[in-house]
Amino acid sequence: MAEHANNEQSPLVGGNEREENGGTASQTSLTGRGSAGLGLLLGALGVVYGDIGTSPLYALKTVFTLDRNLVPDEPDVFGVISLVFWSITLIVSIKYVIYVLRADNEGEGGVMALAALARRALLMDSGRRAGAVLALGALGAALFYGDSVITPAISVLSAVEGLEVISPGWAVVVLPVSAVILVVLFVVQRWGTGRVGAVFGPTMVLWFVCIGVVGAAEVWRHPGVLVGLSPTYAVLFVVAHPVIAFIAMGAVVLAITGAEALYADMGHFGRAPIRRAWFAIVFPALTLNYLGQGALILRAPDSRADPFFLLLPGWARLPMVVLATVATVIASQAVISGAFSVSREAMRLGFLPHLRIRQTSRREYGQIYLPGVNWSLFAAVLLVVFTFGSSTNLAAAYGVAVTGTFLITTTLFLVVARALWHWPTWQVTLFGIAFGSIELVFFTANLAKVSHGGWLTLLIAIIVFTVLLTWRRGSELVTPRRTELEGPLRDFIDTLHTSNIPWVPGTAVFPHPNKETTPLALRANVAHNHVRHERIVIMTGRTANVPHIPWDRRLTIDDLGDPNDGIIHISAVFGFQDPTDFPEVLRRAATHPLAEGFALDEVSYFVSRITLRRTRRPGMAAWRKRLFIGLAHNAASQAEFLHLPEECTIVLSAEIPV
């Protein structure tokens, strides 16, 4: 039996194709000093650092409850504090903030952007391993999606559970309150990360000041805990209790979750504000709070059940629960906006169909909203919250995806550093050993969690990875068949000249990705209606990495060889904030000599639509073909994306076997 689905291939790659000179320079210019720089720094605090900034809520609590053999005495507490501090220092401060943030793909960050850079570097070199690198990036993206489901759930639950510290009777409201908060969080995404960050930024400043102050107060009372910053205590702890330390590493990683979101969110605010915010505010506040929790556990061993909230005086706990709840909403924002960025990179690299993207900032290309991704995450997060029921249960599911993404990022970064930046072999080796070995320990320690909930993130990653590879493979099968069906445009124009097909009044516009092949809608119109219009316009668009492009530099018009045959090609380059308005492009082009005589009041838009038919042809398994057709059927509407008027738009289909 044949299966059909509609796949409207957009001639404009939805902000995915950009000019070569558009990338980082444009991004940097927007992160300047003054009010704009301060606004981006606050925005970075409000979006980028929400995840890692709320880790003190559950990181040490999980470490000291994961293995009951941990003793709240100086060797164990100092050892854990040292492990946490140096994990943050090495993985977040040095690896991500100093090194990995340099690897931006035209201002964009994230594992998919890094994979694109690595692929580009390998293609410049030999090209032999480029496909494997891209698949590795897709796997990293799939793991990041798993993290994006767990983070909002565990963050919000851990904050609302602070109510139980105040009064155990409030335990019954934890799940309903968490669900309401999550609903609000996903609803406000439509406003865009810029506006969300502007609201959340001052709140996160207050959050980091508060957790830093309460931590510093406890450290002031027990300054001896400062010796826990020495790496020797981490080494001694591992040597003295290797098994316990290995298990503890599975929970210590909770202190650095959010590092990958930090990188994925780079396109939203730029590299400089993220670095400044980390070293000036976030890192010092986290260090003081973890030290304070360690000092409290030494002073009152029973406090390890929830050292974050018990660090506070009784009168301050309820206000802190409120502030923590707001902060964990912001933590969720970090991975949600990161998922938007990763999804767009996946579209750019051909791993996802064109999804509806809303540009939410007039200044920053990276600030976007993807409704489909947003509501898919929302459904998954709510399911996880009600399935696991508590942050303690979710902690067992956390870590596998994060540490897997860490390893993939390190691998891809080394490829970029060697092939694109030409690092010497010794430097690549040193970086790989220094960070890869630590992350491998984290990953191995978290594999023990698979049977206790870690299977969830792996399941999500497997599903997403399957979707990504299926769309790419299906596109690889369909594209050459479509190109063959379209045929060379020049040959088709020659056929029009010799076939004496009648001309009819009016202008026909055919959106199409290029000017080398023939739009399928043009072929179908001639084949079925046996006419051609007096004026035929083949229109192609692409998006540059700048906010606006003036009209005098936006259009390129080509007569395709014969100015008398009434067929021209218009290429339009849009700024990322410019509407992809093809009717306006036509009106602007009408003043060009090659467009003289356009009948703008008699314009028809002919959209090519592909109908995919499932067959038994080799290339993909039957279930993957069904999945590919389903994805194609749910791709964004081309007519809506290009602002084509419904009353003047004709959709013509062509069938392609899969």
Query: What residue ranges define each of the domains in the chain, with the CATH number in brackets?
Result: 54-473 (1.20.1740.10), 487-657 (no CATH)
Measured distance CA(112)–CA(518) in Å, rounded: 32
C-alpha distances in angstroms, 11 versus 30, 543, 549, 558? 29, 11, 19, 17
Paired tokens of 445: 């320690």
The per-residue pLDDT for 365 is 53
pLDDT at site 204: 86
> Taking Cα atoms as reference points, which of 589, 575, 503 lies closest to residue 538?
589
CA–CA distance, 543 with 17 (Å, rounded to integer): 6
User: Which distant-in-sequence residues (6+ apart) come within 8 Å of 516 by Cβ?
Assistant: 488, 489
What's residue 19's pLDDT? 35
Burial of 287 (0-12, 13-18, 19+ CB in 10 A): buried
Nearest Cα to 337, choosing from 24, 46, 115, 58? 46
pTM of the model: 0.77
* Six-digit token string for 545: 């990495």
What residue spans of 487-599 are helical by DSSP H? 489-498, 520-529, 582-589
E strand spans, 230-377? 358-359, 368-369
Question: What is residue 255's predicted lDDT score, i.e. its pLDDT?
Answer: 92
10-residue mean pLDDT profile of the chain (658 residues): values are: 37 34 34 53 76 86 76 89 96 95 81 83 66 85 85 82 78 85 82 62 89 95 93 93 87 86 77 90 96 94 88 88 81 76 78 78 64 88 86 75 90 92 94 94 86 82 92 88 86 84 89 89 88 90 73 86 79 77 88 74 85 81 89 79 85 79
**Rounded to an integer, what distance in angstroms lies between the CA atom of residue 282 and that of residue 286?**
6
Retrieve residue 84's tokens. 């946490």
